Amino acid sequence: MATPVLATEDLGKRFGALVVLDGVSVQVAAGGALGIVGPNGAGKTTLLDMLAGAGRPDRGTVSFNGGDVTRLGAAGRCRLGIGRTHQVPRPFVDMTVFENVLVGSTMGAGLRASAAQERAVEVIERTHMTRLANRRAGALGLLDRKRLELARSLATAPSVLLLDEIAGGLTEVETGDLVEEIKELRESGIAIVWIEHVVHALLRIAERMICMSAGRVIAEGEPDAVMNDPAVIDAYLGSAA
């Protein structure tokens, strides 16, 4: 594998007596795409929190472009180039789409005045939201809220994009549209780390995949091989029992 742009080594995290990450080591190369699957409660979102700087591990390290960022918070990592979307979109509902994205380009990317506005316009066009630019975010439907979540992250000029179940709740057609947008982002050189329960969407993007269960990585490799691994099948069937 190429030199990783973002990597963890032996991450451990617990909340009281509950172990949510136990020796998790993952990596993604520049322009690569890592898919993360696993049953509910596997530790997937906690891992994304550790990558984004929204939480700090009890042990282990997080590195970005070869530098240790374990103790750097979310704002600092965002400025370095780590963008993130959330499973439940979190727009500023009383602000317009443009204003929401402008927050990303100013507070996230650190741009000012015309440069921030130009970045916001560019991202809105890239995510096909131009017609909605002046609409209040609270009036958007689910697909457009997900697009706005993506646009706000892109406005921070990330080199790595962390996606948390961005296809959840969408129709097949909407999911297909979103997958095409994510594919374009990856082709532009942005590395993707994507947690997703809509596995067929993930399979269209990911070149490598891991499956987590009970805070551990139980399978890693090519997507088809991971999804056919007996341990992965057992983890999913066990979670449904």
Beta carbons within 10 angstroms of residue 94's beta carbon: 9
The token duo for 208 is 């490598």
174: three-class secondary structure by DSSP: helix
Q: Which token pair is 46?
A: 């906690």
Quick check: 107 pLDDT over 50? yes
Predicted pLDDT at 54: 96
Mean per-residue pLDDT for 18-26?
Answer: 97
CB 166 within 8 A of CB 193: no
How does residue 98 score in pLDDT terms, banded at 50, 70 and 90?
Answer: very high
Q: Is a pLDDT exceeding 90 seen at residue 72?
A: yes
Q: For residue 240, report the phi and psi dihedrals to the nearest 5 degrees.
A: -90, -10
Distance CA 57, CA 55 (A): 7
Contacts of 163 (CB under 8 A, 6+ apart): 85, 150, 182, 192, 193, 194, 195, 196
Residue 240's pLDDT band (cuts 50, 70, 90): very low
pLDDT mean over 160-180: 92
Amino acid at 186: R
| The pLDDT of residue 1 | 59
Tokens of 116: 């921030």
pLDDT band at 241; cut points 50, 70, 90: very low
**What is the Cα gyration radius of the chain?**
18
Listed by start position, the domains of the chain span 1-81+158-241, 88-157
Q: What is the pLDDT of residue 223?
A: 96
Whether residue 237 has pLDDT greater than 80:
no
Q: Considering only CA atoms, which of 167, 9, 156, 149 is closest in space to residue 79?
A: 156
* Domain 1-81+158-241 superfamily per CATH: P-loop containing nucleotide triphosphate hydrolases (3.40.50.300)
pLDDT above 70 covers what percent of the chain?
Answer: 98
Query: Residue 238's pLDDT band (boundaries 50, 70, 90)?
Result: low
| Straight-line distance from the first to the last Cα atom of the chain, in angstroms, rounded to the nearest whole number | 37
